[in-house]
Amino acid sequence: MHRPPRTPVTRPARVELSNGRTVNCQILDLSERGAKLRIVNAQLLPPSFTLADSFSSERWTARVVWTGHRTAGVTLEGASPAAVKPRRVEFGKRGTPT
């Protein structure tokens, strides 16, 4: 099975658990169907949860595919290519002397 290309990113995010608790994490890469997360105690993640991207305000239902010591791979249900495509943010230009 062909795996969609991954886009490296570094975005703050939150794992929202069914009991109302949240856990901070970081999205390390995104694809059309999934993401790689950096999270403390990744092995303790439930099989599914809501992943909230603090940068783009997107939210997905995430399902754990694999876990490592401090990383996890998840599928993003209902994600579209536009939703996971990193947006370029312009921060303004330096003023020119007059």
DSSP string for 51-63: EEETTT--EEEEE
In the chain, where the domains are located: 11-79
Helix, strand, or coil (residue 82): helix
What phi-psi label fits residue 78: left (phi over 0), alpha (psi between -120 and 50 degrees) or beta? Answer: left
pTM, two decimal places: 0.78
Name the superfamily (CATH) of residues 11-79. predicted glycosyltransferase like domains (2.40.10.220)
Alpha helices in the chain (DSSP H): 81-84
Confidence (pLDDT) at 26 = 98
Tens digit of pLDDT per residue, the chain (98 long)? 667 788 999 999 999 999 999 999 999 999 989 999 999 999 999 999 999 999 999 999 999 999 999 999 999 997 665 555 555 545 555 555 55
